[in-house]
């Protein structure tokens, strides 16, 4: 049987891994010139992961999938601010 501390540690590790992957992807995109240089990959990654995790939780609690759909739509609009326009 798992203890609460072990479960919490697993969730922390999962969150760090997700943030790390998004951070790496944003850095690569910035280095390729696909994302504006003002983008701070670690900050944006934490915001994206926290937003999506929150949307999942609220969608489950309210049993309303539109919460997730709206969150994803807003995150897409947010990410467009970082796109390099040619």
- Residues 35, 23 contacting (CB under 8 angstroms): no
**Structural domains of the chain, count:** 1
Q: Which domain holds residue 38?
A: 4-80
Give pLDDT tens digits for 24-69. Answer: 999 999 999 999 999 999 999 999 999 999 999 999 999 999 999 9
Predicted local distance difference test score (pLDDT) of residue 10: 84
Show the 3-state SS of 35-64. Answer: ECCCCCHHHHHHHHHHHHHHHHHHHHHHCC
- Residues 39, 30 contacting (CB under 8 angstroms): yes
Whether 1 shows a pLDDT value over 90: the answer reads no
Q: How far apart are the first and last CA of the chain?
A: 56
85 in any annotated domain? no
Predicted local distance difference test score (pLDDT) of residue 32: 95
CA-to-CA distance for 75 and 51, rounded, in angstroms? 8
User: pTM to 2 decimals?
Assistant: 0.82
- Residues 26, 78 contacting (CB under 8 angstroms): no
């Amino acid at each position: 049987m798992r203890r609460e501390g072990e479960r919490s540690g697993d969730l922390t590790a999962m969150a760090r891994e997700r943030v790390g992957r998004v951070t790496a992807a944003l850095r690569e995109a910035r280095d390729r010139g696909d994302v504006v240089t003002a983008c701070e990959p670690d900050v944006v990654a934490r915001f994206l992961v926290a937003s999506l995790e929150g949307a999942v939780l609220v969608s489950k609690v309210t049993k309303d999938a539109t919460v997730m759909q709206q969150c994803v739509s807003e995150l897409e609009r947010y990410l467009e601010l970082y796109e390099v326009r040619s």
